[in-house]
Structure 1
């Protein structure tokens, strides 16, 4: 008899502005302000945190997509949405999806940033944060 696949329980516990995130450290950046309006200030970190319960399972993975307002590369071309994938390695798992207002300019960062998270192809979170002129 086939084993029934357990569905992960997902709750968004915060969104908005966070302290600068050290990508070399494991863990979640410190939460600062609950908001969906982010000032376009260099190095301002923003995103959301999900608490995932019953998440660990054979091959379970988080995939994500960040649709940005038209961030340009060094050649001036609009970059594709940012995407990625991570394994769920604990039954109780905390996941941070975020970005920061990065240079060399902030003008192409202003506008809606839609952040979407999936577990095994099923959408579990969707939040749009608006980067605005300071």
Structure 2
């Protein structure tokens, strides 16, 4: 697994969610209780941007329909989402945030619920 420097620590203040990229991988990065969390940026319910969501005591709240995801596992804690989001390992060192990404995590994070009218798994997608 390769760790990518994606931000300065100060760019991720307590209680804020921000969007960053590691190559083509779009990541929602947040800080809760001093700990930095990194997940895929798309809600597993309807692909809403999690970087537009909110940090809560329970987890990352999607602003579109109110799903909440566990910071550690990515599991949905509150409907309507029923599938987990991708969670990345994070290191915070020397004033920078590093996110661990391998091919499997990258593929999982870039998988979207729908592409236009097609769904993943359809031959044309």
- TM > 0.5: no
* Structure 1 or 2: more helix by fraction: 2
* Structure 1 or 2: more strand by fraction: 1
Looking at CA atoms only, which structure, 1 or 2, has the larger radius of gyration?
Answer: 1
The higher-RCO structure (CA 8 Å, 6+ apart) is: 1
